[in-house]
Structure 1
């Protein structure tokens, strides 16, 4: 069952998401990486984690790790969305209009909600068997 095509697809999408996560981390550490680059990477990460989440939901993961793995993918998807909203908000805040500042505030408020949801999903991941911290 662990070698089924759907499992491979979900795991490859997860690997792509984690790879882009590493790229985003490198961009964050780089003084040359612009906000636009960071937003593009975070949006790409959202796409991969979303696809991984869609694929993993349809799999019969009854090996004891299935539910935990689903929480992990969901958690990473939410974090990716928060990063994308954050960088989008920062880009909007660079605008010189009242409207752009208002949209930036709305984006950053969305980030706050996503981080609350991320924390809940992280806690669910940590309390799902097998237990971890």
Structure 2
């Protein structure tokens, strides 16, 4: 066991006060949306898996002042498949190519990266 000294305490307190170098909220949200997670529980499982990038916080809801909701962070603004299909219809999205082009050009639109999996289409 390491002897507790003033130097040891000072070093550990300094580490506790370090501000993590996280991605911006927008960049983290874009990255996370591509993971195709649907719920806060799935996020927790992902974090515990050890696969999470170190530049994204484990608790983004506490670390980002821009936080809106898990639904927003994970990438779905549409609660039902019907809302999603209406959105696609209104935006003239008819093909896979059109879908992914729209997804890339409109990163904040809230459509999931993989709608087939997300909505069980």
TM-score of the superposition, structure 2-length normalised?
0.25
TM-score of the superposition, structure 1-length normalised?
0.23
Higher relative helix content: 1
Q: Computing the radius of gyration over CA atoms, which structure comes out larger, 1 or 2?
A: 2
